[in-house]
């Protein structure tokens, strides 16, 4: 019944189609470019999305959202400039190291679920979901390399499915933004680290290298600011600004 309602909803179908196309482009990008670069562009794109969404819905962004969007977009610009050095490449990575990374991500996710809920509540679902999404992104990079590594599609699918389920559990607890913010931070940051440690993705030397690192930090910080829970005072200020604009 629920599936029938979803597939009968045009807006949901449009969103699902866009998501499917986006994931197909993500796979193509992983084939052509290093994981850290692809993940950085995806993280920085949140800033562009936030600005576009605000304009389409005619709802002004709060001070924090504007700051997060600006930081993310600056990170994208810095990243594009740092690419002028060329020679972007990565290795296939050692299978043993990749399996250990995926196993560690899964183990930490289980630990977050087992212990985290008693200590930090719903945010534990975000941590576990973010870890699983990050692991799935790494597995996705591996299975796009083809041959026997296509088997890594299995942990990729498992990570995305379980990660999505954990986020939904967190959302139902009433802490959707906290869960989403925590998950987004881990999902964006960990694959960038994995790109260097697992696939030997080097940072350019000199000024371009420094700019690349600044870009990585900026896009992650921007995504975290945009996903951080809105306080009562921030929400009131945004509503007041929206009323004034009308």
Provide the CB-side half-sphere exposure for 106 (13 A, CA).
15
pLDDT at 246 (0 to 100):
45
User: What three-state secondary structure class fits 59?
Assistant: coil
User: What three-state secondary structure class fits 41?
Assistant: helix
pTM for this entry: 0.72
HEC profile of 107-119 = HHHHHHHHHHHHH
Do the beta carbons of residue 44 and residue 79 sit within 8 Å? yes
10-residue stretch averages of pLDDT, the chain, 246 residues long: 60 77 86 82 65 61 72 77 66 91 94 76 82 93 90 94 85 67 78 86 79 81 63 48 47
The CA distance from 163 to 241, in Å, is: 36
The residues near 5 (Cβ < 8 Å, ≥ 6 apart) are: none
What b/e readout covers 205-224, taking b as 16+ CB neighbours within 10 angstroms? eeeeeebbeebbbbbbbbbb
pLDDT at 239 (0 to 100):
47
pLDDT at 235 (0 to 100):
47
């Amino acid at each position: 019944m629920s599936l029938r309602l979803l597939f009968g909803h045009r807006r949901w179908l449009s969103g699902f189609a866009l998501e499917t196309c986006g994931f197909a482009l993500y796979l193509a990008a992983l084939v052509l470019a290093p994981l850290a670069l692809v993940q950085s562009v995806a993280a920085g794109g949140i800033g562009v999305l936030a600005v576009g969404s605000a304009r389409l819905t005619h709802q002004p962004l709060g001070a924090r959202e504007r700051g997060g969007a600006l930081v993310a977009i600056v990170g994208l610009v810095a990243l594009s400039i740092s690419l002028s050095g060329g020679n972007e490449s990565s290795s296939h990575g050692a299978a043993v190291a990749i399996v250990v990374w995926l196993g560690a991500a899964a183990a930490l996710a289980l630990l977050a679920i087992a212990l985290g809920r008693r200590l930090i509540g719903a945010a534990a679902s975000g941590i576990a979901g973010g870890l699983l999404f990050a692991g799935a992104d790494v597995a996705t990079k591996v299975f796009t390399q083809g041959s026997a590594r296509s088997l890594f599609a299995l942990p990729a699918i498992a990570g995305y499915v379980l990660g999505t389920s954990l986020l939904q559990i967190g959302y139902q607890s009433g802490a959707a933004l906290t869960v989403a913010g925590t998950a987004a931070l881990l999902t964006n940051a960990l694959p960038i680290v994995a790109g260097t440690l697992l696939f030997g993705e080097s940072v350019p030397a000199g000024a371009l290298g420094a700019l690349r690192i600044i870009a990585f930090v900026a896009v992650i910080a921007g995504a975290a600011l945009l996903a951080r829970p809105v306080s009562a005072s921030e929400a009131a200020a945004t509503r007041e600004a929206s009323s004034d604009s009308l």
